[in-house]
Amino acid sequence: MDDFTTSSAQSNQPTTSVISNTSTAQQDLNVSNKTKNIADLVKTIVIIVLSLTTVTFIGLFVWMSVQYNETRSDVDGQINRAVAIAKDEQATALEAEFLEREKYPFKTFSGPADYGQLTFEYPRTWSVYVAADASNGGDFSAYFNPIQVNVVSKDTINALRVTIRDKSFDDVAAEYQRYMDKKDSNLSVETITTTKGITANRYSGNIPNTDLNGYIVIFKIRDKTAILQTDSVLFEEDFNKLLNTVTFNA
């Protein structure tokens, strides 16, 4: 009996050992699987993060490239515009310089001797048209303009109108004063003295009975009145130069 019991006990011992070994192996397998899963999860997270980072950098690179190209295009456009403007300004300046040189040497105009022989210098690029020579009395009138004289009327622009009226200075000045006294007149007057010593009235603003805006200078020649008028402020510089060359026989 004892032998049987002992034998039974001995026969049961290996079974317990196998079960224990199997349980340990299963636990090790579970731990290994968990470790592998964690590692896979970490790899997945790292891949996602790297992917997002890569996409972000690519997006930033594309955006910066677009911004750079736009900025470069804008800068190139500004440079091109600046160069074009500079060229235009240079061409304009050269043209203006050429036109100014073309005016020299000036020509000399002389009016009728019986009317004090009014004399002055004017650009040689200007044409002159004597509309009334006062050979039979009355008023003298002449018109000047670059290249050619425009059709003469109260509203056409010419660089210079010269009139010697057979009327006293006081009477002519009174006519301009009456015009200045009107409410809608913007004409103003000042007394000037040219470099040749001629004292005159200089009127600036809207020319009477016209839509023109310019300058008028009147002064006394013997018993008559000389009127020099430019129909536009564009000719002011030439007009002022011309005034300082005026002479006449008293």
pLDDT of residue 85: 83
- Claim to verify: residue 122 and residue 176 sit in the same structural domain: yes
Average pLDDT over residues 105-111: 94
Residue 228, Cβ density class (10 Å: 0-12 exposed, 13-18 middle, ≥19 buried): buried
**C-alpha count within 13 angstroms, C-beta hemisphere, residue 127:** 9
- Claim to verify: residue 69 and residue 148 sit in the same structural domain: no
Instruction: Report the distance separating Cα 166 and Cα 115, nearest Å.
Output: 9
- Claim to verify: residue 19 and residue 78 sit in the same structural domain: yes
| 58 assigned to some structural domain | yes
| 214 assigned to some structural domain | yes
CATH code for position 227: 3.40.1000
Query: Does the structure show a pLDDT above 70 at 42?
Result: yes
Please state, for a pLDDT cut of 70, what percent of the chain lies above it.
85
- Claim to verify: residue 146 and residue 188 sit in the same structural domain: yes
- Tell how strand 126-132 and strand 140-146 pair up: antiparallel
| 190 assigned to some structural domain | yes
- Claim to verify: residue 13 and residue 42 sit in the same structural domain: yes
Domain that holds residue 142: 107-243
- Claim to verify: residue 138 and residue 233 sit in the same structural domain: yes
Amino acid at position 198, single letter: I
| 200 assigned to some structural domain | yes
pLDDT of residue 20: 60
At 8-38, the pLDDT tens digits run: 444 455 555 555 666 676 676 666 777 777 8
Looking at the 3D structure of the chain, how many domains does it have?
A: 2
- CA distances to 41, 59, 61, 66, 81 from 72, in Å: 45, 19, 16, 10, 14
Boundary residue ending a domain (102, 124, 145): 102
Instruction: Report the distance separating Cα 161 and Cα 159, nearest Å.
Output: 7
- Claim to verify: residue 117 and residue 20 sit in the same structural domain: no
Average pLDDT over residues 163-192: 96
Rounded to two decimals, what is the model's pTM? Answer: 0.63
- Claim to verify: residue 98 and residue 115 sit in the same structural domain: no
At 185-238, the pLDDT tens digits run: 999 999 999 999 999 999 999 999 999 999 999 999 999 999 999 999 999 999
Boundary residue ending a domain (79, 102, 125): 102
Amino acid at position 166, single letter: D
| 182 assigned to some structural domain | yes
- Claim to verify: residue 75 and residue 131 sit in the same structural domain: no
Mean pLDDT of the chain: 86
- Claim to verify: residue 166 and residue 234 sit in the same structural domain: yes
Average pLDDT over residues 48-75: 81
pLDDT of residue 88: 73
Give the range with max mean pLDDT: 38-42, 97-101, 151-155, 157-161: 157-161
Boundary residue ending a domain (102, 130, 146): 102
| 249 assigned to some structural domain | no
- Claim to verify: residue 157 and residue 72 sit in the same structural domain: no
Instruction: Report the distance separating Cα 184 and Cα 180, nearest Å.
Output: 9
> Is residue 210 within 8 Å of 155, Cβ to Cβ?
yes
3-class secondary structure for the chain? CHHHHHHHHHHHHHHHHHHHHHHHHHHHHHHHHHHHHHHHHHHHHHHHHHHHHHHHHHHHHHHHHHHHHHHHHHHHHHHHHHHHHHHHHHHHHHHHHHHHHHCCCCEEEECCHHHCCCEEEECCCEEEEEEECCECECCEEEEEEECCCCCCCCCCCCCEEEEEECCCHHHHHHHHHHHHCCCCCCCEEEEEECCCCCEEEEEEEECCCCCCEEEEEEEEECCEEEEEEECEHHHHHHHHHHHCCCECCC
- Claim to verify: residue 92 and residue 119 sit in the same structural domain: no
| 94 assigned to some structural domain | yes
